[in-house]
Structure 1
Amino acid sequence: MNPTTAAHDAIYAHAKFKADQTAYLTSNPNFDRALYCLDTRNPIRLTCQRLVAPSVGHRQSGRQPRADLWYAISALTYASIVAVVLIACVTTPFYQRRYIALHGSLKNAWFLWADVAFASFFTFEAVVKIIADGFYSTPNAYFKNLWNKIDLFVLVSLWINVIAEFTGLGGLGRASRAFKALRALRLVNISSTARDTFHHVIISGFWNILGAAVVSISLLIPFAIWGLNIFNGTMYTCNDSSNAVANITQCVNEYSSSPFQWDVWAPRSWDHVAYWSFDTFGGSLLLLFEIVSQEGWIDVMEAAMAITGRDQAPQDYSTPGNALFFVAFNLLGAVFVLQLFVSIIIRNYTEKSGGAFLTSEQRSWRELKKILYQMHPSRRPMEPCSKSWKAWCYERAVSKKGGWSRFITAVYLIHIFLLMAEFYPSSYAYDKVRDLAFLFLVVIYLANIVVRITGLGYRNYFSSRWNIFDCITIFGTAITTSVTLFGLNQGLLGQFQKLFLVLVVLNLIAKVDSLDQLFKTAAASLPAIANLLLTWLVFYVMYAIAFNQIFGLTRTGKYSMGQVNFRTMSNALVLLFRMSAGEGWNAIMHDFTVEEPYCVGSDNFFLSDCGSAPWAFTLFISWNIISMYIFVNMLVTVVYDSFSYVYQKTGKLSNVTRTELRRFKKSWRKFDPNGTGFIQGADAGRFLGTLRGAFDVRIYDEQYSVPKLVQECKTLRFSTS
């Protein structure tokens, strides 16, 4: 296919489509009628169109948005989104309860009227968009945009929350409080790349993830039924742990208990070994789901191994054969479920990004482009006279494999060894010797800086970010180490010395080719990783608000003491991050299922310290799935996909080494001596002609080039004469 013909065909097809679309709209004027009453010439609609961009596509009639007004409204919208989220973070249940204690009610609260103001503004924004382009059936309709659907859902939830507070229903139900968390969803609109990532991860991948969840549940159900049949009613114990109680019939009367070393008489009770059990199918399925996360399964297995019979007191390791159930489940169920999620998420991401359809050579070329995009020719001065001091410095400054470069690399390795030689407790003399050794190494580093500045020149040297970083860390190390030798190494200064000493090691990255390539590939992959983290951050904030609003007043339990609770937003954020790693999430979840008579119940939310089993199971399990399974595995997938430069080891581009890249930069530098990153168009052919090795673009080998052939002819002519 001729590329020029294909381009002309594409342009013609697009123009014909636009013409047909315009003709259809002209012949059917009622088709583009907003709200069935506002045509394209309506002054109100035209005014609204000047304020906002179309929700989808491009407007074929009416007016295009006025840039300054559109940007102003967008900026005000983004600021309002951030403000309304911050209000939800500040107005915790504790804050609201104190406000009620001081003012009697929330009807005149500043944050409630702030919610009204922001809800009114968001309503105005939605109305303007609907008037400008219609709601549902028009070409650029508001409801045809997915993000507008999310915005509308958040807007409705915001008004529900406001109305519930004004009518006094805000303290009656947790659902009305949970609506506050949904406003964080609008944070996705701040970044278009975050919206795309959100769409790929949550929306486009929803059915694949749902399919994985269904398959996972189908694997858990047989084990849940098996565990229900063999363990129900057996994992019980008496709270009197003495040998006086052997079964349920002896677990009566009172016993001497010593809580906090106080000797008191307490009634005996026969209850579950812990917060979990196999007594019901639902409890069995929930317990196995918790075991899938590899959290607390050892305790459950040991409890099963201590079973002596129904209504009998447990004894350690009396039935070790019960451990086979958990071994089989971990091998056949838990591991398989985890890998199933990972594989489906990886496949979904690679299909959406297109990586699943690339060959190894194509993946190699894609990663090579990432590296080439970051490259630019180094700024170098004209090579000085070969016998001068500056020439000596220049040669050592530009050489990557010379003796001076190897010597500096060896000094960095000695530096690392000295860092590893620290121990506690150490003698005063030993610390002084280490500081003197570091100071001696700093002298060598400073000498290297002097050599490089002399050889490259001041401007050329500081055009490199690595060189700037090198100067900051070396001079910081020199100052802090010198002061330390005088005994002033305590407090903040001592911490800065250790920081600079560690940062110096990072300069080794530029010295080692493999580390340098890894670092540059990581830098090229940061946008994809940052977009995923930004999407995760939206859910992170949303769930933190939800947990705080629903469980902010819930009493603490055995596993939620101290700061392990949701009473403040800072506690909620830290605890959610902890649960993202799966650390004790299930035990904490059961603490927040506390209900009467183990808490103070009330119809008024602000007067109760009870939890909620439905909300606890819903929020904890959904956060566990979203954060621990979906986003953690997505992050692994993005990192794996971004660092697939390993394909270069097996593909046709396996010979693109750091040496080849340096040759490429050297050829580039001939036509861009100032390191601007650009060359003149007239020099493009000459530049390509100078490339050698893996980047050689010549049709014939060098031995068949015109200069070589002319030289060969001259040589033959001279030899024959």
Structure 2
Amino acid sequence: MFVFASFGVQVYGGKLAACNDDSITTEAECSGKFYQQVWVSNSLNMDLNPSGFMVPRAWTNPRNFNFDTIGSAMLALFEVLSLKGWVEVRHVLVTRMGAIHAIYIHLFVFLGCMMGLTLFIGVVIANYNENKGAALLTVDQRRWEDLKSRLKIAQPLHLPPRPLENDIRAKFYDLAEHPYFKWTIASCVMIRSLLLSWKWESHHNQEFDYAKYLVWSSICLTFVFVLEIVVKVIGMTFLGMMSSWRNRYDVLVTMLEIGWVFMYFISSDEESVYSSGWILVAFRFFSICGKHATLKMLLTTVAVSVYRSFFIIVAMFILLLCYAYAGVVLFGTVKYGENIDRHANFSTVPLAVTVLFRIVTGEDWNKIMHDCMILPPRCTPADHYWETDCGNVLAARMYFCSFYIIIAYIMLNLLVAIIVENFSLFYTMDEDILLSYNDLHMFQVTWNMIDVKRKGTIDVRSVESVLKLLNGRLEINKEKDHLLLKQMCYEMEKLGRRSTTGNRFNGTNSNGNGLGCRQADEALYVTFHDVLMMTAYRSVDIRKSLQLEELLMREKLEFEIEEEVAKQTIRRWLERCIRRKRAQTHSTTDNHEHLQPVIVTSTLENDSSEIPANACFSSQRPKGKDSEYPGGNEESNKPKNSEVGKHRRHGLWKPPPSFCKAYAGCLPSVMVDGIKYENGLNYDNGLREDEATTLSTDLDRWWSDSNFSADNHYSL
């Protein structure tokens, strides 16, 4: 712009001035007075001599621009850059300098506006993305951020499940969800909207009163919409249909239309009937937006853009309000001119806000600026600015140019950047996104199969059913990915929330020990977005898609989950071994009244002086004296290898009561039906076969503290 302004000063400086009398062409002849004719309008006084008055001749520049100085030239080109008033500048150049000089202004418009201004907009959008961090992300990371944005917007399908029985309800349900049925209703809505092409008012004085035909057509289409509601109520039930916001809107509009039909037959005031009728037709038109996927996607884009640009809109309003107060102080007393009049001025704050909002759209902002730059003798000067009706040249230039740059070139372009970003979330090719719309729709359908009450939450125990029913990219192979399925289910248990009372479940009992399963009274639930985000994490390569901080947190979480699932798997295997050995023991000891405890240990070595910590205790007691075990006489403290091996049954060995007394305080505690037995089970009371016995994690602690020895004690 500076280059073009310098060129304009050298070529057009001092050469654009002309006499206000078109008959005078030189400055020397531009003196005296002349009669100025005035036309009131183009349609009056065409054949008569128009009225007029005497005007003194003056040799002046064009009213709104000149190229005499570099400042005036840059101001004129800045106005041209906004595509306001450039035709007037071109006309003056062609009239006073020749047709060839039109190339100057055309070249500036092409380079400055169509290229330079577009580059400026690109810089604003690039800076927005860079400050947001999107410009520094890789392709996979950007796709992951887009996916998270789309997952936050995704909602469960507010659609009741199809009736299982193949009866009349199922047929009506299929009819309500059939594409042809939906297209028929949409066509009826469009046909009814076309009725607004004619004005709804009575014409009693005319021979043909078309308003009645419009009303009767609307009544017939109203019965079609009532039929739609009836079909949905039969197929989905009333509560199932009302679970959708779109159906709620349709029911509300249909009820109002039924009331309007009754009012038409009862009321005698036709004007009110016609007025309310076309308003209901307009309300019905908005219902078609939710019936078509593309329209619904466009509305979602607009809604998301408004939500994300809320703070920018608020900042624009605050900035506009500040400029309005400043405009009242600076230009509140400026006299009316070409564009400042009783409808657009700065006399009050509300009027100033309307003028600035008009400037935001670019409507003649430069002409309003020049009206605020009026100087004597066209105004009345005074000592104080609040006493004069003149303007302020410097203040007007700074005020209007700064406001237009901030609002039109920065704020509005930020809004454009947000809208484009949100538009790309919904209109991206499937090969450029991590999860396609079909995958998300499949997850929504699968979720609806489990969430039958449409609450948006399900029990943690139902998560496995959801994962097994998924297809597409979210599909989990139940045979190959069995461990992954366990880990995903445990992640949801860890994330689960209590539905009644209590804190968030973290997978531990009151002692801080891990639980293999939840207690019966812990009703935990997870939301739609919890399961969706978890499946999204598991379906992508987190090392490529996630940023560093999020990657570290996610890897830590997955490591904890894998470790806890491994512990639970080992613990459950041990419990199964215990139950299986107890069942075998019970079948061979029918003469015993009670079952003896079983503790998992390993196979004994040939050296009978050591009892390994992983030896399994058999419930069958060996015959003979107790002197073979600790607690007997001194000679019998050395057990015979043959006798010990005889009764071990390949590592199965059962301690007598004397062993338990000798090793009191060394055996692990056992949790039986919620009762903790310290130093082993109570052999005197015993256990019944039907009692659910599980080993607590004290076994792990006892296992680690296995480095003790004493007289008549085995070194474990």
Which of 173, 177, 181 is residue 404 of structure 1 equivalent to?
181
Aligned position for 1:227: 8
Once residues 258 and 60 of structure 2 are traced to their aligned partners in structure 1, the CA distance between those partners, rounded to angstroms, is 65
Distance 1:434 1:360 in 2: 56
- Encode CA deviations 1:59-90: one digit per residue, 9 max, x unaligned: xxxxxxxxxxxxxxxxxxxxxxxxxxxxxxxx
2:452 aligned with 1:673: yes
The amino acid across from 1:565 in the alignment is N
Deviations 1:299-322 (A, max 9, x none): 1101111015xxxxxxxxxx2111
1:514 pairs with 2:291:
no
Q: Does 1:574 align with 2:360?
A: no
Shift of 1:585: 0.5
Alignment check: 8 A CA contact 1:565 1:572 kept: yes
Q: Structure 2 counterpart of 1:690, which letter?
A: L
**Matches of 1:527 and 1:567, distance apart in 2:** 34
8 A Cα contact 2:202 2:211, kept in partner = no
CA 1:304–1:475: 2 relative to 1, 3 Å: farther
Q: SS at 1:257's partner residue? A: strand
CA gap 1:493/1:432 in 2 versus in 1, 3 angstroms: closer
Match of 1:333 in 2: 112
The TM-score normalised by the length of structure 1 is: 0.60
The correspondence for 1:295, drawn from 68, 79, 84, is 84
In structure 2, what is the Cα distance between the partners aligned to 1:670 and 1:226? 73
Decide whether the 8 Å contact of 2:202 with 2:270 is kept in 1. no
Give the corresponding residue for 1:466. 246
Q: Distance in 1 between matches of 2:181 and 2:364?
A: 53
Match of 1:84 in 2: none
Residue in structure 1 matching 2:20, options 232, 239, 256: 239
Name the amino acid aligned to 2:10.
N
Q: Between Structure 1 and Structure 2, which shows a larger proportion of helix residues?
A: 1
Q: Which residue of 1 aligns with 2:75?
A: 286
Q: Among residues 598, 606, 614, which one is paired with 2:378 in the alignment?
A: 598
**Equivalence map 1:318-397=2 (5 Å):** 319-358=98-137, 362-373=141-152, 374-378=154-158, 380=160, 383=163, 385-388=165-168, 390-397=169-176
Deviation for aligned residue 1:668: 0.8
Q: Where in structure 2 are there 5+ consecutive unaligned residues?
A: 41-49, 486-716
| Structure 1 equivalent of residue 416 of structure 2 | 636
Is the 1:394–1:456 Cα contact (8 Å) retained in structure 2? yes
For residue 222 of structure 2, what is the amino acid of its counterpart? V
AA aligned to 2:183 is R
CA drift at 1:516: 2.1
Indicate which of 661, 664, 675 corresponds to 2:443. Answer: 664
1:609-630 deviation per Cα after TM superposition (whole angstroms, max 9, x unaligned)? 2211111111100000011110
**1:620 is the counterpart of 2:400:** yes
Q: Does residue 1:545 correspond to 2:325, yes or no?
A: yes
Report the CA distance shift for 1:513/1:594 in structure 2 as closer, same or farther (over 3 A).
same
Relative to structure 1, is the Cα distance of residues 320 and 444 closer, same or farther in structure 2, using a 3 angstrom cutoff? same
Shift of 1:331: 1.3
> 681-690 vs 375-384, which deviates more?
375-384
* Contact 2:144–2:434 (CA under 8 A) maintained in structure 1: no
Offset of residue 370 of structure 1: 3.6
Residue 313 of structure 2 corresponds to residue 524 of structure 1: no
| Contact map agreement 2:345 2:351 (CA 8 A) in 1 | yes
**Shift of the alpha carbon at 1:669?**
1.9
Secondary structure of the structure 2 residue equivalent to 1:408:
helix
2:507 is aligned to none
Change over 3 Å in CA distance of 1:233–1:499 after alignment to 2: farther
Q: For residues 447-496 of structure 1, what are the alpha-carbon distances to aligned partners after superposition, in whole Å with 9 as ceiling and x for unaligned?
A: 11122123222333223221222223334445457757988564x76554
C-alpha change, 1:230 and 1:349, in structure 2 (3 Å) is same
2:5 and 2:478 map into 1 onto residues whose CA distance is 67
**Residue of structure 1 in register with 2:62 after alignment:** 273
- Post-superposition offset of 1:697: 4.0
Under a length normalisation based on structure 2, what TM-score does the superposition of the two structures give? 0.60
Higher mean Cα deviation, 467-476 or 284-293?
467-476
Whole-Å Cα distance in 2 between the matches of residues 439 and 585 of structure 1? Answer: 49
> Following the alignment from structure 2 to structure 1, what is the Cα–Cα distance between the partners of residues 391 and 261?
55
Task: Call closer, same or farther: CA 1:650–1:662 in 2, change over 3 Å.
Answer: closer
CA distance in 1 between counterparts of 2:226 and 2:30 reads 77
Over 3 Å counting, the alpha-carbon distance change for 1:282 and 1:404 in structure 2 is same
Percent sequence identity is 25
Deviation at 1:589, TM superposition (A): 0.2
CA positional deviation for 1:276: 0.9
Matched, 1:447 2:227: yes
- Decide whether the 8 Å contact of 1:364 with 1:651 is kept in 2: no
Q: Distance in 1 between matches of 2:113 and 2:202?
A: 45
For residues 394-429 of structure 1, what are the alpha-carbon distances to aligned partners after superposition, in whole Å with 9 as ceiling and x for unaligned? Answer: 3334x2x44322322332343344445779999854
Contact 1:589 1:620 in 2 (8 A): yes
| 1:539-590 deviations in Å (ceiling 9; x for gaps) | 1111111111221111121221231111122211111111111110111101
Deviates more, 1:338-347 or 1:265-274: 265-274
**1:236 maps to amino acid:** A
SS in structure 2 at match of 1:602:
coil
Partner SS, residue 595 of structure 1: coil
2:201, 2:211 within 8 Å by CA — same for their partners in 1? Answer: no
The 2-side partners of 1:588 and 1:303 are apart by 20
**Amino acid of the structure 2 residue aligned with 1:463:** S
Matched-pair contact (CA < 8 Å) for 1:589–1:616: yes
8 Å Cα contact 1:228-1:280 kept in structure 2: yes
Q: Which amino acid in 2 is paired with 1:271?
A: T
- Deviations, residues 132-180 of structure 1 (Å, cap 9, x unaligned): xxxxxxxxxxxxxxxxxxxxxxxxxxxxxxxxxxxxxxxxxxxxxxxxx
Q: Tell me, what secondary structure is at the counterpart of 1:375?
A: coil
CA distance in 1, matches of 2:252, 2:388: 56
Change (3 A) 1:454 1:239: same
- Max Rg structure: 2
1:641 Cα offset (Å): 0.8
SS at 2:160 equivalent: coil
Matches within 5 A, 1:410-489: 410-419=187-196, 428-480=208-260, 488=269
User: In structure 2, do the counterparts of structure 1 residues 333 and 393 end up closer, same or farther at CA, with 3 Å as the change threshold?
Assistant: same
- Give the CA deviation at 1:592: 0.4
Relative to structure 1, the CA distance from residue 552 to residue 479 in structure 2 (aligned partners, 3 Å threshold; closer, same or farther) is farther
Alpha-carbon distance in structure 2 between the residues aligned to 1:421 and 1:699: 63
Checking the alignment, whether the CA contact within 8 Å between 1:648 and 1:654 is kept in structure 2 is no
Q: 1:484 to 1:582 in 2, by over 3 A?
A: farther
Q: Cα 1:456–1:509, aligned 2, differ >3 Å: closer, same or farther? A: same
Question: What secondary structure does 1:520 align onto?
Answer: helix
Q: Kindly indicate whether the alpha-carbon contact (under 8 Å) linking 2:35 and 2:53 is maintained by their aligned counterparts in 1.
A: yes
- 2:280 pairs, out of 469, 490, 500, with 500
Distance 1:546 1:494 in 2: 47
Question: Partner of 1:130 in structure 2?
Answer: none
- Kindly tell me: are residues 347 and 495 of structure 1, through their superposed partners in 2, closer, same or farther at Cα, counting changes over 3 Å? farther
CA displacement 1:259-294 (0-9 Å, x = unmatched): 567533221112223221111111001100110000
Q: Distance in 1 between matches of 2:197 and 2:70?
A: 54
Contact 2:162 2:173 in 1 (8 A): no
- Residue type of the partner of 1:222? V
Hey, what's the Cα distance between the residues in 1 that align with 2:101 and 2:258? 63
AA partner of residue 100 (structure 2): G
Give 3-state SS (helix, strand or coil) of 2:34's partner: strand
Q: Distance in 2 between matches of 1:413 and 1:419?
A: 10
Instruction: State the 1:445 CA deviation.
Output: 1.0
What SS does the aligned partner of 2:428 have?
helix
Residue 563 of structure 1: aligned partner: 343
